[in-house]
């Protein structure tokens, strides 16, 4: 792809442009124009800046029902490749997807850390480790911005869980904040100069993240001297003067919001200095300039691959498979051999989850299940058997099961009416779900939604609806009502986890189903845009079967095969924005399913279709386990390629998998009186397990077997390099070419300083080949924040370097005792 041309080749004088605007015009620019766009200002050549969500695809300007775009593997699956090159490639591909839509900024990467494994949104964020997160973020930002599209690091800061997410106060000591939670932001700023960041929903130590003078003004814009723009998370800004003076540059979304006239008044009364406003506008102009929305509009390349092009298929399959991680592989049961008879079992094999829930969702051109991928690769050698239920709530009707009764196309037809009964819009939906009044500019509040679909199944069928409202469901001669009310308290919960109800009805044949929702009038004065938003979904699917019957069918299939592959996992009920998990147990009776199959099959391979840790109480009873993340639109093909070894699943875990619930150094995500205490300090993830603050995990951060085995030579320090670098020779003792990730951890001598990853280096080697590897270490991990002096200080001399394949498999030790360590950067 050719890089888009920048709008201005000579340095633009932002102060001069700002000086041409009066106060009201300046303040107007500082709140969005709509959900994902900013105001243009012709008088200074400022065009409309256009933003889009981004972690797993560039969704575009609409939150739901938008254009068809490529769905990438999720963040943890991408990061499990431990590859800056892959992260760069992802950034570049996202830039292409953005440029094809004339977008200027992609709202990613998410670089909050995996503090507690219960965090519902960890699937969007890279890792529990700040170095891995920071380095990958920097590479992603370089890939994105190097091709003319802005990045937005999010969410600044201490935003690691979702419970009470709009109000929670994260209580974090200053050393932990800097050494851990700010570190990925700091590394990305230093190495890639991201053009924007997003201030989080939560408070940090009693101050809203959108008003964080200390974090935004003092640290990020001050100490780091970062010239970019800070925007608020969506609807997060609560105040005018405090937020504007606290360093927030832009309120999102718009056009309503707490700034506008209130901020103009605050400047006129002297409460906010006009220089503060000028600085915000200057930063906005710099972002626009960099992204090609100031001055002459940028020209976008015309040669961009379509979301379903062969180029995208190859890229997305390769990126997904490379991050998949082999956790167990007894007797080299993997890779599967062509010619083996495979029983492929599980609901996740048929309805593979390829993305998490919430603002990361996109509208992909197609989705590929593991069953589809395996059958494409192995044909008749695979038999596919459904598994036990994996959800506790019904989901909107899947396209294969319902068609629009008027066009016959897959999906549901929605009609939206105002309070007087006039039709506002007819909207076909492939997802069985509509979001009304959010980003569609409807002229009035939607008071009634009618959903219609032809249900193709026969026999016992679950029918129902989701979304707040008084529903009437009609299917042939059957009619029933549902009064659905919100389960949670906030906007996020009502939209992302809407209330649902259903019944089982026996259908004699294909039947047109109609679901009518009368939506209660909004509370409050109705002026908030959120009060006009409604979600409505049609539930239609074959009625759940008796679990005993399902297990018996799985066991019977397993007995006839050479190898049983059971696909288990989580769904968007667990891995979503706005909701945290309460357990790491697999939902439903999936553990029973694995055990039953393992007892019956000759060989059992388990594929875990989840982005984050799950418990595997059966892990000693099966032959192999592969963690497959949420693999994106090519997911099924990627799983098949990984299981067959066509692409090595060379991933290493990016987060530690606990052995049990509550057996992690940081667990609870439930605030107490509004406070969520980060009381474990810097001891999250492997840092805490290594210090004995939790029982030994099931699988360590950094663990991953690939399809080879490795010998390590004696490690040594590289002479004359500061901070220390490690040289070690690794030998591929397996029978296939493979990729090894040599990890170096520092175990400091100082009390209160946990072990930490200080560097890694990946290397490819043919079977039998020995390769010398040099691992440089990151200077920022050799320092600590001294609370007394309020400064960085170097760690005292001493400690050890551990050369490891995850801390459960340490292959070499270098004793640093008595060595004089170098000054931190």
Query: Applying CB under 6 A, which residues contact ligand BGC?
Result: 53, 107, 154, 233-234, 359
Q: How far is the CB of 118 from ligand BGC (least distance, A)?
A: 18
How far is it, in rounded angstroms, from Cα 457 to Cα 57?
33
User: Pairing between strand 382-385 and 402-403?
Assistant: unpaired
- Cβ count near 302 (within 10 Å): 8
Token match 């575009």: residue? 60
Please state the φ and ψ torsions of residue 808, each to the nearest 5 degrees.
-80, -5
233 is catalytic: yes
Kindly write down the DSSP assignment for every residue of 139-198, as one continuous string.
HHHHHHHTTT-EEEEEEESS----TTTTT-EEE--HHHIIIIISHHHHHHHHHH--SEEE
Comparing CB distances to ligand BGC, the nearer of 121 and 318 is 121
Q: How far is the CB of 155 from ligand BGC (least distance, A)?
A: 6
Residue 104 class from Cβ within 10 Å (0-12 exposed, 13-18 middle, 19+ buried)?
buried
Kindly write down the DSSP assignment for every residue of 442-492, as one continuous string.
-SS---EEEEEEEE---EEEEEEEESSEEEEEEETTEEEEEEE--SSSSHH
Sequence-ordered strand ranges (E) for 647-798: 675-677, 710-712, 716-717, 726-732, 738-747, 756-765, 770-775, 783-786, 791-794
Kindly write down the DSSP assignment for every residue of 775-818, as one continuous string.
E---GGGGEEEETTTTEEEEPPS--EEEEESSTTSEEEEEE-TT
Q: How far is the CB of 125 from ligand BGC (least distance, A)?
A: 10
Comparing CB distances to ligand BGC, the nearer of 107 and 684 is 107
Q: How far is the CB of 23 from ligand BGC (least distance, A)?
A: 28
- Cβ count near 299 (within 10 Å): 12
Comparing CB distances to ligand BGC, the nearer of 248 and 664 is 248
Q: What is the CA radius of gyration of the chain?
A: 27
Comparing CB distances to ligand BGC, the nearer of 200 and 264 is 200
The set of residues, in sequence order, having a beta carbon less than 8 Å from that of 819 and lying 6+ positions away, is: 724, 797, 798
Q: Collapsing DSSP states into helix, strand and coil, what is residue 91?
A: helix
The set of residues, in sequence order, having a beta carbon less than 8 Å from that of 714 and lying 6+ positions away, is: 728, 812
Token match 């982005």: residue? 611
Comparing CB distances to ligand BGC, the nearer of 359 and 367 is 359
Comparing CB distances to ligand BGC, the nearer of 554 and 676 is 676
Q: How far is the CB of 490 from ligand BGC (least distance, A)?
A: 10
Q: In this chain, which residue has its C-beta nearest to ligand BGC?
A: 359
The set of residues, in sequence order, having a beta carbon less than 8 Å from that of 314 and lying 6+ positions away, is: none
Comparing CB distances to ligand BGC, the nearer of 253 and 754 is 253
Q: How far is the CB of 234 from ligand BGC (least distance, A)?
A: 4
Q: Contact at 8 Å (CB) between 710 and 762?
A: no
**Of 233, 354, 440, 623, which is the active-site residue?**
233
Comparing CB distances to ligand BGC, the nearer of 491 and 782 is 491
Q: How far is the CB of 154 from ligand BGC (least distance, A)?
A: 5
How far is it, in rounded angstroms, from Cα 292 to Cα 710?
48
Comparing CB distances to ligand BGC, the nearer of 233 and 623 is 233
Q: Collapsing DSSP states into helix, strand and coil, what is residue 427?
A: strand
Q: How far is the CB of 84 from ligand BGC (least distance, A)?
A: 23
The set of residues, in sequence order, having a beta carbon less than 8 Å from that of 323 and lying 6+ positions away, is: 73, 76, 77, 78, 79, 80, 81, 86, 629, 649, 651
Q: How far is the CB of 107 from ligand BGC (least distance, A)?
A: 4
User: Pairing between strand 534-542 and 783-786?
Assistant: unpaired
Q: Which residues are catalytic?
A: 233
């Amino acid at each position: 792809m050719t890089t888009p041309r920048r709008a201005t080749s000579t340095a633009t004088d932002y102060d001069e442009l700002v000086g041409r605007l009066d106060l009201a015009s300046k303040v107007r620019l500082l709140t969005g124009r709509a959900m994902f766009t900013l105001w243009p200002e012709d008088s200074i050549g400022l065009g409309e800046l256009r933003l889009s969500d981004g972690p797993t695809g560039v969704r575009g300007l609409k939150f739901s029902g938008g254009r068809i775009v490529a769905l990438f593997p999720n963040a943890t699956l991408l990061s499990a490749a431990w590859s800056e090159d892959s992260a760069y490639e992802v950034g570049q591909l996202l830039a292409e997807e953005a440029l094809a839509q004339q977008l200027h900024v992609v709202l990613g990467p998410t670089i909050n850390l995996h503090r507690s494994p219960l965090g519902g949104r960890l699937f969007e964020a890279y890792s529990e480790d700040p170095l891995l997160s920071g380095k990958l973020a920097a590479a992603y930002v370089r890939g994105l911005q190097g091709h003319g599209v802005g990045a937005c690091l999010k969410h600044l800061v201490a935003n690691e869980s979702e419970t009470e997410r709009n109000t929670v106060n994260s209580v974090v000591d200053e050393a932990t904040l800097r050494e851990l939670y700010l570190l990925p932001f700091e590394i990305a700023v230093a190495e890639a100069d991201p053009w924007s960041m997003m201030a989080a929903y939560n408070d940090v130590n009693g101050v809203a993240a959108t008003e964080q003078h200390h974090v935004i003004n003092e640290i990020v814009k001050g100490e780091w001297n970062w010239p970019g723009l800070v925007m608020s998370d969506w609807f997060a800004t609560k105040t005018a003067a405090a937020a504007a003076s606290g360093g927030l540059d832009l309120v999102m979304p718009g056009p309503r919001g707490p700034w506008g006239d209130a901020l103009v008044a605050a400047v006129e009364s002297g409460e906010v200095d006009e220089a503060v406003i000028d600085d915000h506008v200057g930063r906005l102009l710099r972002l626009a300039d960099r992204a090609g929305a100031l001055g002459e509009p940028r020209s976008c390349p015309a040669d961009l691959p379509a979301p379903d092009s062969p180029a995208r298929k190859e890229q997305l399959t390769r990126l997904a498979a490379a991050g998949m991680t082999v956790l167990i592989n007894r007797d080299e049961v993997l890779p599967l051999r062509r010619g083996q008879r495979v029983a492929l079992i599980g609901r996740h094999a048929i309805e593979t989850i390829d993305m998490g829930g919430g603002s990361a969702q996109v509208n992909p051109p197609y989705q590929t299940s593991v069953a589809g991928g395996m059958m494409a690769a192995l044909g008749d050698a695979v038999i596919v058997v459904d598994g036990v239920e994996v959800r506790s709530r019904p989901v909107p009707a899947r396209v294969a099961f319902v068609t629009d009764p008027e066009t016959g196309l897959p999906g549901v037809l929605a009609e939206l009416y105002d309070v007087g009964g006039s039709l506002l819009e007819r909207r076909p939906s492939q997802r069985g779900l509509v979001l009304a009044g959010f980003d569609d500019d409807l002229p009035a509040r939607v008071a009634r939604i009618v959903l219609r679909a032809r249900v193709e199944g026969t026999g016992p069928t679950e029918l129902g609806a989701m979304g707040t409202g008084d529903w009437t469901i009609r299917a042939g001669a059957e009619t029933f009502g549902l009064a659905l009310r919100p389960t949670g308290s906030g906007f996020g919960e009502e939209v992302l986890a809407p209330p649902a109800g259903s019944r089982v009805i026996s259908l004699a044949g294909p039947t047109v189903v109609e679901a009518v929702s009368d939506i209660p009038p909004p509370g409050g004065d109705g002026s908030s845009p959120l009060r006009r938003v409604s979600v409505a979904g049609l539930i239609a699917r074959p009625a759940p079967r008796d679990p005993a019957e399902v297990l018996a069918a799985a066991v019977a299939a397993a007995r006839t095969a050479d190898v049983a592959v059971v696909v288990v996992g989580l769904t968007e009920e667990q891995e979503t924005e706005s909701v945290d998990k309460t357990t790491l147990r697999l939902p439903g009776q999936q553990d029973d399913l694995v055990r039953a199959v393992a007892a019956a099959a000759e060989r059992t391979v388990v594929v875990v279709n989840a982005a984050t840790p799950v418990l595997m109480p059966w892990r000693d009873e099966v032959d192999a386990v592969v963690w497959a993340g949420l693999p994106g639109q090519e997911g099924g093909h990627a799983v098949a390629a990984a299981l067959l070894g066509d692409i090595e699943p060379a991933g290493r875990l990016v987060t530690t998998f606990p052995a049990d619930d509550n057996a992690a150094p940081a667990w609870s995500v439930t605030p107490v009186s509004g406070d969520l205490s980060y009381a474990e300090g810097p001891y999250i993830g492997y840092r805490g397990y290594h210090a004995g603050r939790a029982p030994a995990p099931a699988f360590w951060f950094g663990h991953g077997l690939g399809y080879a085995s490795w010998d390590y030579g004696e490690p040594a320090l590289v002479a004359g390099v500061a901070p220390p670098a490690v040289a070690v020779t690794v030998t591929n003792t397996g029978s296939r070419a493979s990729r090894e990730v040599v990890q170096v951890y520092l175990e400091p001598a100082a009390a209160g300083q946990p072990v930490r990853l200080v560097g890694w280096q990946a290397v490819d080697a043919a079977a039998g080949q020995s390769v010398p590897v040099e691992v440089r270490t990151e200077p920022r991990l050799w320092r600590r924040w001294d609370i007394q002096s309020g400064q960085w200080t170097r760690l005292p001399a001493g400690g050890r370097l551990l050369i490891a394949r995850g801390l459960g498999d340490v292959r070499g030790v270098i004793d640093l005792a008595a060595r004089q360590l170098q000054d931190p950067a």
